[in-house]
Structure 1
Amino acid sequence: MSDFNPVILIPVYRHGKACAEVVEQILQYNIPIILVDDGNAEETKAYLRQIKEKHGEIELVTLAKNQGKGGAFKAGTIRAKELGYSHILQVDADGQHDSTKIPLFIEKAKASPDKMICGYPEYDETAPGHRKNAHKFANTWCAIVTWSGKIVDALCGFRAYPIEPAYRFVTKKIFDKRMGFDVEILVQLMQSGLDVEFYPVKVTYPSDGISNFHAFRDNVRISWVFTKLCLKMFLLSPVMLWRKLFR
């Protein structure tokens, strides 16, 4: 693909210090970066300003109010399209993912430009049990609503998207802009016909890390997203059946 032009998109909420460390790690790959300030408090804003001052080539998008991961991804995607990028590599700001996998994901996105390239977690001993269970729950339901066994993990926030389908998705009505977003964009893009590949990414949960995931509240949100996705599946079932039979 001659016009392959990727950008790394990092939504940031409460992870200013960790984000600064992530940025320093990934600058070596010489890929443009868009940071999205998702309505942060002053402490995190100060970190983001320092990053921008130190690395002026980084694009910083600022949201006046917190809009959740989906809202931040939407703002970053719109800006990425405005700047002419062809692909987005979403990286979480908390530093949990192995950033050395960035070249692999960029390589795979370039080789398969019309696919999503998604990570699945390789956990170490720091992984909380409730996080593993949330992933298992989401993976099971994703298989149901997509009629596919391709989804290895539905919640890992380390992914590459072609800009055009990602842009079309974020500019329509999204069911959940918070913790259900990663599930929803993956499922809805697959329901629309976009294919996917998965590759492993090591995940570490530092003891002093800040988590924006709340087990009860966010599992309820994700369950509600799946309820809506199930309804959409029934509406799309003739199209999905046609794809299964003739593709």
Structure 2
Amino acid sequence: MPKICVIIPCYKHTDKIAGVIQRLLSYGFPIIVVDDGNSKEDAMELYKICENLRDVFLLHHDENKGKGGSVLTGLLFAKENRFTHAIQIDADGQHCVEDIPKITDIINENPDAVVSGCPIYDDNAPKSRVIGRKITNFFVKLETLSNEIKDAMIGFRAYPVDLTCQCAKDCNLNFGMTFDIEILVRLKWAGAPIEFFETKVDYPKNGYSNFKVSDQLKISIIHTVLCTTMILRLPYVLFKALFKSHDSK
């Protein structure tokens, strides 16, 4: 029986996270909030939000480690507490919490799978972000030699905890905004099945994003690394495919 928790990395979204937590509580899963080096005022606000809530755990980074570092902190805590799966969701309220049952249904049917949202955008979605995602998804197809990954950037997904922690341990992952892309590619390389579900993504007007212009450069760099690694892996991939084809005859 899967033991599921929810991880919320939080940096500068203390005005939104209370609403996200309240919507999540109705599903009954323990919630791990990671304070990613917020200011003293925001850290105190997070403490006040979480302190009287049952099964809400607040973890703290003294310095900002980035989204990936926060997710990994949550995953390691989940592993220590014997959770089998962790649902990652953003603190800013853009993800549709009400789609949690879609995730849990897939986990129950296929507990080995990574479960990820496939975003449906509203009219407020920045065109630059939509185009950027299309470019990233194109490169991910090259990096995995597969059309299986429909979207590699959404932060609303569920990980099998043990496999993801092991994958992170084996690789020198970047813990910033490129984490969502890299971990999905590397989990695919590790043989994890990846299941997708459609979900609406809300970009509120005048909303604040932690995504910076410099993150575009970092994404370009990580694609260079992943594409190069895929080229180096190609003989192994071809041999494995040939062996599988021969074995099935």
TM-score by length of 2: 0.94
Partner of 1:240: 237
Unaligned runs of 5+ in 1: none
Contact 1:20 1:47 (8 Å CA) reproduced: no
SS at match of 1:60: strand
Shift of 1:160: 0.7
1:208 equivalent among 206, 209, 228: 206
Structure 1: how far apart are the matches of 2:96 and 2:165? 26
Q: Deviations over 1:182-227 (max 9, x none)?
A: 000000110111110111110111113210012x311110110011
Partner of 1:77: 75
1:194 equivalent among 192, 195, 198: 192
Contact 1:16 1:43 (8 Å CA) reproduced: no
Structure 2: how far apart are the matches of 1:10 and 1:227? 29
- Largest Rg, 1 or 2: 2
Structure 2: how far apart are the matches of 1:103 and 1:173? 31
Structure 2: how far apart are the matches of 1:134 and 1:211? 15
Partner of 1:107: 105
Write the mapping of 1:139-178 to structure 2, written as runs, cut at 5 A. 139-178=137-176
Shift of 1:172: 3.7
- State the AA in 2 paired with 1:219: Q
Structure 2: how far apart are the matches of 1:43 and 1:130? 32
Residue 68 (str. 1) matches residue 66 (str. 2): yes
Residue 221 (str. 1) matches residue 248 (str. 2): no
Structure 2: how far apart are the matches of 1:22 and 1:231? 39
Structure 2: how far apart are the matches of 1:32 and 1:53? 14
Shift of 1:243: 4.5
Residue 40 (str. 1) matches residue 38 (str. 2): yes
Unaligned runs of 5+ in 2: none
- State the AA in 2 paired with 1:238: P
Number of residue pairs aligned between Structure 1 and Structure 2: 244
Q: Deviations over 1:92-145 (max 9, x none)?
A: 111001110011101111211111111011001110011101110110000000
Structure 2: how far apart are the matches of 1:242 and 1:106? 35
TM-score by length of 1: 0.95
Contact 1:191 1:240 (8 Å CA) reproduced: no
Shift of 1:50: 1.3
Structure 1: how far apart are the matches of 2:53 and 2:239? 49
Structure 2: how far apart are the matches of 1:65 and 1:55? 25
Structure 1: how far apart are the matches of 2:116 and 2:240? 22
Shift of 1:230: 1.1
- What percent identity do the matched residue pairs reach? 38
